[in-house]
Amino acid sequence: MTVCALALMATLAACGDDTVKATPADSAANPLCAKASRHWPSTVSGQKSRKVSTDSATVHAWGDPAIIARCGVTPPKPTASGCVSVDGIDWVGSKLSDGDRYVTYGRVPAIEVLVPTKYNELPPLGAFTAAADEIPQGTHKCS
């Protein structure tokens, strides 16, 4: 009976899916995204890497709730609103219902980082400097 109970518990544990649901961005196939994704950080805000629902290396996640990064999103249009510079990388931020969205500014393709409210007191954008540095800065910059 004990062996059966242990087998049942192991089966139920295997059924749990801790995979973060995320899809590659429209321009994820851009070679610059492949370069950038080699520099995703191992941890973000002290959170460990998590499995994502795609095999694309251009999408990565950390923590629970998940901080999600994707390379290949459409860059924001010229703006001064919500523009911040962290470690020489410009980002445009916008509010979401459950946190904030940050997109690199002046780089094509752009990197998007979705940050749940839990981590947003001090957005962890510095963790993405090495990845964003792989995509050249264009003419648009935060002023």
Q: Which residue, among 41, 49, 51, 60, has the nearest Cα to 124 in the 3D structure?
A: 41
Per-residue pLDDT of the chain (143 residues; tens, 9 = 90+): 333 333 333 323 333 468 999 999 999 999 999 999 999 999 999 999 999 999 999 999 999 999 999 999 999 998 878 899 999 999 999 999 999 999 999 999 999 999 999 997 888 999 999 999 999 999 999 97
Domain range list for the chain: 22-133
Are 132 and 111 in contact by the 8 Å Cβ rule? The answer is yes
Confidence (pLDDT) at 12:
30
Residue 46 Ramachandran class (φ > 0 left, ψ -120 to 50 alpha, else beta): left
Longest Cα–Cα distance of the chain, Å, equals 69
Confidence (pLDDT) at 4:
34
- CA torsion angle for 112, 116, 118, 120 (degrees, to 10)? 40
Confidence (pLDDT) at 15:
36
